Amino acid sequence: MRMSIFEYAPAPESRDVVSIAPTYDHFIGGKFMASKSGKRFATINPATEEVLSKVALGNAADIDAAVKAARSAYTKVWSKMPAKERGKYLYRIARLMQERAREFAVLETLDNGKPIRETRDTDVPLAIQHFFYHAGWADKLEYAGLGENPQPHGVAGQIIPWNFPLLMLAWKVAPALATGNTVVLKPAETTPLTALLFAQVCIDAGLPAGVVNIVTGDGKTGAALVSHPGIDKIAFTGSTEVGKSIARALSGTDKALSLELGGKGANIVYEDAPLDQAVDGIVNGIFFNQGHVCCAGSRLLVQESIHDLLIEKLQRRMEQIRIGDPMDKNTDLGAINSKAQLEKIEELTQAGRDEGAKPWQPSCSLPGNGFWFRPTIFTNVSGAHRIAREEIFGPVLAVLTFRTPAEAIAKANNTPYGLSAGVWTEKGSRILWTAKRLKAGVIWANTFNKFDAASPFGGYKESGWGREGGRHGLLPYIRHAISRETTKSGKGGKR
């Protein structure tokens, strides 16, 4: 039974704003081109299992054509263009995306399963902001502390995941173009559609042919991009497992590499924290985007004295979470992106049960079709449990306790990852004390999951190499750049 005092009338966003073609081709050399193999794969709406479109399945020959187009655009046009002209294209792309923002949001929600409230208010505005921000850098690189006369690598191969498809495209394409590289991008298999709409934006912006190329496909398509000898730099966002395999494949070559990988973020709540705010931050930290967030606050570390009260408040708040049709403007939690991801979440939550942790879920009902998982919290979790160690990448929170600040730090850092962390306390000095000791690339204080194009994002340890966003995010796209900040942590933007 729902404890909600409010019942909402349906508020569906219209899908009329998008027109989805029955088939899509690769975007190579400024044109849409069929796959050399003639093969296609289906992309579905994970909330309904409806097939949205059949998309070209890229192979090594398609990658080769795209790399050649990118090389030709680099040598003949892009590397010769004055930087301020390059910047104008980025501004133009940003403005065209703004004009089509609603279309991008609806298409992303249909293809990915995430709520329209999030695509409309987070994914799409942040993607646009990324292009505006980097448009400003294009003609100011020599003032960015990257050394004199910073030079691009040339052709960048970029591989992105399905959790923030358009936003990850923006994080990759905007800095690459601003620094003077051309790109070949491989979107994730389950979410290629907004990248293909972005291809149309590139055409409409008059971007010279071959500066941006998009080859759709699966993991093998990504692997073909990594191993292509004509690529100067690889930028990858995805799982740590695939990231490691890419690092192995590139060792011994002169290709540059940046990696944005997984995480198991600790969200630390001290006993003096404003608890109601913390509860909202915990919900945002783990249930935003169905928990398909690399920097999710997936481990809640609560000071023992407030554990029971906090869990009671959290459960009451979770009863208010609205799960269902992602196109409804009142939906908080949408569909799990794929059957495979749902199975991974189910496997890990079963492991949580088997190892003795105590699960709790709100009493919401789930739609019949599509891939769904109830928001879940586990208490009685020990640091040895799989749910405390492995990235679940779903709406599942592992709750652990601590008694002293030192214990909180030890537990928070007890992970091979180091992407994000959160601290909740009313004392500024405790925030600083804690943040100084946490091994995480991004640390939020009394908030969570806040992003800005001007703020660098990236991880320690197995969470990745290099940064995206801000001045630091330009480094991985510059040849021979050295930064004190990044070399200090041992992981430069360039290997």
Is 159 a binder of ligand NAP (CB under 6 A)? Answer: yes
Burial 293-319 (b: 16+ CB within 10 A, else e): bbbbbbbbbbbeebbeebbebbeebbe
- Pick from 354, 391, 390, 361: nearest CA to 377: 361
Query: Does residue 218 belong to the site contacting ligand NAP (CB under 6 A)?
Result: yes
Q: Which does 111 bind (CB under 5 to 8 A by kind): Mg ion, ligand NAP, none?
A: Mg ion
Smallest distance, ligand NAP to C-beta of residue 37, A: 15
Classify strands 442-445 and 420-424 as parallel, antiparallel or unpaired. parallel
Query: Does position 119 bind Mg ion by CB under 5 A?
Result: no
Q: Which of the residues 383 through 422 are near ligand NAP (CB under 6 A)?
A: 391, 393, 419
**Does the annotation count 390 as an active-site position?**
no
Exactly one of 190, 258, 379, 449 binds Mg ion (CB under 5 A); that residue is 190
* Spatial distance between the Cα atoms of 136 and 86, rounded to a whole number of angstroms: 10
> Which option in ligand NAP, Mg ion, none does residue 233 bind, with CB closer than 5 to 8 A by kind?
none
| Number of residues engaging Mg ion in binding (CB under 5 A) | 3
Residue 294: name the closest of 191, 400, 163 by CA. 163
Nearest-CB residue for ligand NAP = 222
Least separation in angstroms between residue 379's CB and Mg ion is: 34
| Residue whose C-alpha is closest to residue 27's, from 51, 63, 76, 53 | 63
The pair of structure tokens assigned to 366 is 């789930």
Smallest gap, in angstroms, from Cβ of residue 240 to ligand NAP? 6
Backbone angles phi, psi at 449, to 5 degrees: 50, 50
Residue 320 binds to ligand NAP (criterion: CB under 6 A) = no
Single residue of 464, 466, 476, 492 touching ligand NAP by CB under 6 A: 464
Q: Does 154 bind ligand NAP (CB under 6 A)?
A: no
**Site map for Mg ion, 78-117, x if CB under 5 A?**
---------------------------------x------
- Check residue 134 and give left, alpha or beta (phi > 0: left; psi -120 to 50: alpha): alpha
Applying the rule CB under 5 A, the residues between 14 and 53 that interact with Mg ion are 43
In this chain, which stretch among 65-73, 102-110, 233-241, 405-413 interacts with ligand NAP, using CB under 6 A? 233-241
The binder of ligand NAP chosen from 62, 64, 108, 189 (CB under 6 A): 189
Q: Which stretch binds ligand NAP (CB under 6 A): 10-18, 102-110, 237-245, 327-335?
A: 237-245
Contact between 309 and 276 (Cβ < 8 Å): no
Burial bucket for residue 488 (CB in 10 Å: 0-12, 13-18, 19+): exposed
Coil, strand, or helix at residue 342? helix
Q: Name residue 24's amino acid.
A: Y
Could you say which of 118, 189, 260, 462 is catalytic?
260
Structure letter (DSSP) for residue 413: T
Give Cα separations from 83 to 90, 136, 151, 177, 233 (angstroms).
11, 10, 11, 10, 20
* C-beta closer to ligand NAP: residue 219 or 405: 219
Catalytic residue among 13, 202, 294, 295: 294
Contact 379, 360 (CB under 8 A): yes
Active site residues: 260, 294
Task: Give the footprint of Mg ion on this chain (CB under 5 A).
Answer: 43, 111, 190
Task: Give the footprint of ligand NAP on this chain (CB under 6 A).
Answer: 159-163, 186, 188-189, 218-219, 222-223, 226, 237-239, 242, 245-246, 260-263, 294, 391, 393, 419, 464
